[in-house]
Amino acid sequence: MLNSANNYYTTLPNSTDCDSVICLTRIEKLQPQLCMISVDVNNHNEVVWKHWEGDAMYNIYREGIQSGQYDLVATMEPNNQNRWIDTASDAKMHSYRYKISAIDTCGNESSLSEAHKTMHLTINAGQNNSWNLIWTAYEGTAYSTYNIYRATEDTLGAFTLIGTMPSGNTSFSDFTAPAGYVYYMVEIILNEPCVLTTSLSSIHSNIASNNPNVGIAETLRATSSLRVYPNPTNGQLHITMGHAPLWENAKYVIYNVVGQVVMQNTPLNPP
């Protein structure tokens, strides 16, 4: 019997007239695919791949210090939502290449997939307070558009779209940047989204900034733990935000539905 995973199961009698089950695998059909590699708030690469029915495990490989040489960095069970965070990576330093292989129920490993290469975004100063962005193009999947986002010290948890470009470009100059620290991120929209437990349709670069002591991960974690309730409000609003260290030098700004500032202050009672 040949199943959808290209495994053939049959029974053969042994010397004691008992049936023995054998498994024959068409291993050349087990060619897994990476779907995307994005970057999380800690500047670690997040590897996402497509699930193949019948695979027992997956091996993830990362290109080492020699071009074309890939080292095994993780072995994953198939029930982990097909996502893995490479905590040894640092996306703000350089781009990375990854490949993946599948291991079937008979223990056979497939050949390695095609490589995916991550984006790497850098920033340098232009004239009159402008900032130039340069990044390496993502490789391994189809996309047609780059989105460029900017945030400031006050809006780091809410990046604003400032530009859209076709995928053939890998640079952008921001001539309208405000004074002070600014933060940039480049996003690509996939032509075919990854579909796991949720739909993953875009890939993010690392965050590049003119802030030499950038605390991006801590600020974004503070924002992700922010709670404002009830909404809509009856006139009394509650704001909570993580643990005490995240409140140091914090302030909040409340806008109405037309974008006007109605209140801004510092937290009264840090947790």
- Give the CATH number for residue 89: 2.60.40.10
**Final residue belonging to a domain, choices 64, 87, 117:** 117
Q: What is the 3-state secondary structure (H, E, C) of 83-100?
A: EEEECCCCCCCCCCEEEE
Phi and psi angles of residue 217, each rounded to the nearest 5 degrees, phi first:
-60, -45
pTM, whole model, 2 decimals?
Answer: 0.69
Tell me if 220 is assigned to some domain.
no
Residue of 8 and 148 predicted with greater confidence: 148
Tell me what pLDDT residue 226 has. 54
Instruction: Check whether residue 81 and residue 159 sit in a common domain.
Output: no
Q: Which of 90-104, 155-169, 186-200, 252-266 has the lowest mean pLDDT?
A: 252-266
Query: What are the C-alpha distances in Å from 48 to residues 54, 100, 185?
Result: 18, 10, 20
Q: Which of 43-57, 143-157, 179-193, 224-238 has the lowest mean pLDDT?
A: 224-238
Instruction: Give per-residue burial for 229-243: e unless 16+ CB within 10 Å, then b.
Output: eeeeeeeeeeeebbe
Tell me what pLDDT residue 10 has. 54
Instruction: Check whether residue 108 and residue 163 sit in a common domain.
Output: no
pLDDT category at 22 given cuts 50, 70, 90 is low
What is the domain count for the chain?
3
Cα–Cα distance for residue pair 226/223, rounded to 1 Å: 5
Tell me if 13 is assigned to some domain.
yes
Residue of 198 and 132 predicted with greater confidence: 132
Mean pLDDT of 82-96: 91
The DSSP symbol for 124 reads: E
Instruction: Check whether residue 164 and residue 91 sit in a common domain.
Output: no
Residue 7 has pLDDT above 60, yes or no: no
Task: Give pLDDT tens digits for 144-180.
Answer: 999 999 988 776 667 899 999 999 899 999 999 999 8
Tell me what pLDDT residue 270 has. 47
Sheet with 171-174, strands from edge to edge, namely: 121-125, 131-135, 171-174
Tell me what pLDDT residue 233 has. 66
Query: Which neighbouring-strand residues pair with 241?
Result: 226
Most confident of 38-52, 92-106, 190-204, 241-255: 92-106
Instruction: Check whether residue 105 and residue 21 sit in a common domain.
Output: yes
The alpha-carbon radius of gyration of the chain (Å, integer) is 24
Domain range enclosing 176 = 121-214
Residue of 122 and 236 predicted with greater confidence: 122
Tell me what pLDDT residue 243 has. 43
Instruction: Check whether residue 142 and residue 182 sit in a common domain.
Output: yes
Cα–Cα distance for residue pair 107/20, rounded to 1 Å: 18
N-to-C CA span, the chain: 62
- Is the dihedral angle over the CA atoms 187, 192, 194, 197 positive or is it negative? positive
